Structure 1
Amino acid sequence: MPEYAPVELPDTPRLAHNIIHFARALRRAGLPIGPGRVIDAVRAVQAAGFTERMDFYWTLHACFVTRPEHRVIYAQVFRLYWRDPRYLEHMMSFMLPAIRGVQEEKLAQSGEKRAAQALLDDHLPEVPENEQASEDTTQIEIDATMTMSAEEKLRTLDFEQMSTDEVAQAKRMLARLSLPVKPIPSRRGKASDIGAQMDFRRTLRQSMRTGGDIRSIARKTPRPRWPNLVVLCDISGSMSQYSRMVLHFLHAVANEKGAGWAKVHAFTFGTRLTNITRHLAKRDVDAALKSAGAQAQDWEGGTRIGACLHDFNRDWSRRVMGQGAVVLLITDGLDRDEAGVLEAEMERLHLSSRRLIWLNPLLRWDGFVPKAAGIRAMLPHVDSFRAAHSIQSLEELAAALSKRDDAGDKARLMQML
């Protein structure tokens, strides 16, 4: 452990105290920040100065942020704590329950709920009671038979709108999900006493033991053949939170016994393609995703879907697409490459797979229209187009796999092209 010399505070120690409280808020939001990093942050601010707001932002960012998935939380906590004092009042009003009159619920942006929860230290401001209501001691009974439970509400909540506690609870719910699949019909058979087909080869082999006399007819039944599951997950900046939750779901699928999959192959892509299959084999989900994140260096970066699909079709398609593989493509379709290249690679991927299912979190919006060039190029070459923004959408994926003709919302969106 390195030894730290006593820290000399600035002339006005209020800034150093604010940095300490800011670090505590980040720690409550989930960032691993210890006393050593706080001391380094105070020293870094002393060296860099406090003149430009962006310099101050990136100085603390270099001291406190060590993982790509922590950037969103850091940005939101910084905005709440340093930039706009009225923003905290907005988040406090957002976190209040709607019990005073008719109040419209407002959805928070990415990371806002977790950032506000960290700054408020899980202590919500008290709601002032009405004076007349305080004097009246009459108890009011509320019929809650038609209300949703907390778990049911969490199933339909968008991953981007979840707080820190809701994310942890959602991960536990995802760990219990399964993705069963039906076997593929096969010409090969296995011995069975009640099989519907006659096994002529085994019948002749048995007759050789009795001098060529056929005393019994051997029977067989079709041998089940299980497909591979190939997952291509977008980890660009617009997909980071959704991809993180989906990877928790895939870890549960990869370690589920008896689900039917021959093998689960997982790839992440942003600006390049990364194979994380061996990391999902670890039983500990935190260790698995940590090692996968360390290998995938393009977290929250740009998006080059066409180039990454070209690398997959060239280097991995023949290795993992055997036995009639089912492909899950998880991306929003916002690509920076040429639409012609993306369309050609999507067509090749579709022809190589038994079934290609596209999971797009943008489909959660009722007014979603396929206007982006990448989405228009990809949509005709998928078998099913579904949403992937909540626990309920992932649960519905299991039902979609059991239905061969389930196309999701593809037919409706194809009419808009």
Structure 2
Amino acid sequence: MPAEAPSTPSGPGRIADNIVHFARVLRRAGLPVGPGSVVDAIRAVEVAGIASREDFYWTLHSVLVKKREHRAVFLEAFEIFWRRRGLLEKLIAMMSPAAPPRAAEPERPRAGSARVNEALRPERTREIEQPETEIDARLTVSDREVLQRKDFAQMTAGELAAAKREIARLAMPDDRVRTRRLKAALRGAFDPRLTMRASLRLGGGMILPRFRAPTEVQPPLVALCDISGSMTDYSRVLLHFLHAISERRKVSVFLFGTRLTNVTRQLRMKDPDEALAGCADAVADWSGGTRIASALRTFNRDWSRRVLGQGAIVLLITDGLERDADADLGREMDRLRRSCRTLIWLNPLLRFSGFEARASGIRAMLPHVDQFRPAHSLQAIADVVDALSTEPGGAAADPRSYLKAA
């Protein structure tokens, strides 16, 4: 440390304390920052010094960031943590009094901001001198049962974070369908061509039978998610669900409000916050109106032949509250149903026990649906995961029964 740095309790010793607390914030936000990395960060700052904000940022970045997908979270945490009460400017002035303070930049949303704000919440209610007691907060059995059945719209920020972690741990079923393509197998139908080829390799003196069987593939999943104003409380959580399953199988995701937007590429990012931020940047009609018929017409015309091959399963996520319900809606739903193997409609309105299909849009869509399921809680999403490998009309109630009840 420079000789002119004060030796009071608020002097150099505070730098190490702040780096330790900053590392704890990163750990709460999901970055793998261990005690060894914290020690290395403190030593790196001691060697490099604090000449400017940019130098200090890259010194910590070089030690605490190990993966590319962690950069956005680290940047957001650095901007928020070291901006509080001009903490970094005070340290720079203390280490080099001649250095001019840097003007604060205007705030703007970044990927990882939700996670960082959640991680900083306990820091804002505690002075830095107070020791921190780390508690391994795990859900008890009763808390887990309540969380499984609680509506997403009624969850607090902490409960939503726990729900997203539970969604990320969902086990996807290994549902496979047979195709017309054949492959060599130990058992199955006799294959004369493979048998003759094998005998020729052996000189023709020995004939060993060869067999073939149909190839089994995991069908692709296509999700059409409503992001209108009435779906705001559910669309973001369901996008976390789609991001979780996109890491384990082929998934194509389309968002629609007043227009259709393909966000499959954005959801392929490993970091969920970065993926959702990419989706928000790509969509221009978030929390707006709803035009289901127009969105389905665009999908059927431009995308159905590209993504609905190999027995694809379609998840239609919407409340069905169409602004302009007409004959086109039923026609486009019928075309969508004929293009896929299974059409599953996820509707948050089914959380109400007395739900009736009275809206004209819902009545136009229901006759063309294989399964009609709720999508308002963790338990409902777990049931959807089980339904992905269920044949049409399996465990779910017949969608047409809602039409009869209404």
User: TM-score scaled to structure 2, two decimals?
Assistant: 0.64
Counterpart mapping for 1:205-244 below 5 A: 205-210=197-202, 212-213=204-205, 215-244=207-236
Cα deviation, 1:197-254, whole Å, max 9, x if unaligned, reads: 2122101222333555552101223221221100000000010120100000111100
Match of 1:317 in 2: 304
CA distance in 2 between partners of 1:181 and 1:382 (Å): 23
Please list every run of 5 or more consecutive structure 1 residues that lacks an aligned counterpart in the other structure.
1-30, 38-62, 71-113, 123-146
Deviation at 1:288, TM superposition (A): 0.4
Deviation at 1:408, TM superposition (A): 2.2
* 2:402 maps to 1:413: yes
Match of 2:354 in 1: 367
Cα deviation, 1:259-295, whole Å, max 9, x if unaligned, reads: xx4x100000001101000111111000000011110
Report if aligned partners of 1:266, 1:277 keep a CA contact under 8 Å in 2.
yes
Deviation at 1:180, TM superposition (A): 2.0
Match of 2:382 in 1: 395
AA partner of residue 183 (structure 1): R
Match of 2:242 in 1: 250
Please list every run of 5 or more consecutive structure 2 residues that lacks an aligned counterpart in the other structure.
1-75, 84-105, 126-139
What SS class does the counterpart of residue 187 from structure 1 fall into?
A: strand
Name the Cα RMSD after superposition: 3.0
Match of 2:150 in 1: 157
CA gap 1:65/1:390 in 2 versus in 1, 3 angstroms: farther
CA distance in 2 between partners of 1:248 and 1:372 (Å): 28
Question: Which residue of 240, 258, 266 maps to 2:253?
Answer: 266
Report if aligned partners of 1:171, 1:248 keep a CA contact under 8 Å in 2.
yes
CA gap 1:319/1:64 in 2 versus in 1, 3 angstroms: same
What SS class does the counterpart of residue 216 from structure 2 fall into?
A: coil
Give the 4+ runs in structure 1 shifted more than 4 A: 31-35, 63-67, 210-214
Counterpart mapping for 1:18-417 below 5 A: 149-193=142-186, 195-210=187-202, 212-213=204-205, 215-256=207-248, 261=249, 263-404=250-391, 405-406=393-394, 408-409=396-397, 410-417=399-406
CA distance in 2 between partners of 1:271 and 1:34 (Å): 35
Deviation at 1:396, TM superposition (A): 0.7
Deviation at 1:192, TM superposition (A): 2.4
AA partner of residue 232 (structure 1): L
Cα deviation, 1:77-136, whole Å, max 9, x if unaligned, reads: xxxxxxxxxxxxxxxxxxxxxxxxxxxxxxxxxxxxx9xxx9xx99xxxxxxxxxxxxxx
What SS class does the counterpart of residue 191 from structure 1 fall into?
A: strand
Deviation at 1:187, TM superposition (A): 3.1
What SS class does the counterpart of residue 253 from structure 2 fall into?
A: strand
Report if aligned partners of 2:366, 2:400 keep a CA contact under 8 Å in 1.
no
What SS class does the counterpart of residue 225 from structure 2 fall into?
A: strand
Comparing 311-320 with 205-214, greater Cα deviation is found at 205-214
Cα deviation, 1:288-347, whole Å, max 9, x if unaligned, reads: 000111101111100000000000001111111111110000000000123211111100
Alignment coverage as a number of residue pairs: 283
CA gap 1:416/1:148 in 2 versus in 1, 3 angstroms: same
What SS class does the counterpart of residue 149 from structure 1 fall into?
A: helix
CA gap 1:386/1:309 in 2 versus in 1, 3 angstroms: same
CA distance in 2 between partners of 1:336 and 1:229 (Å): 27
CA distance in 2 between partners of 1:188 and 1:319 (Å): 19
AA partner of residue 371 (structure 2): S
Report if aligned partners of 2:347, 2:375 keep a CA contact under 8 Å in 1.
yes
Match of 2:60 in 1: none
Identical-pair percentage: 49
CA distance in 2 between partners of 1:34 and 1:217 (Å): 69
What SS class does the counterpart of residue 388 from structure 2 fall into?
A: helix
Report if aligned partners of 1:321, 1:352 keep a CA contact under 8 Å in 2.
yes
AA partner of residue 393 (structure 1): A
Match of 1:134 in 2: none
User: TM-score scaled to structure 1, two decimals?
Assistant: 0.63
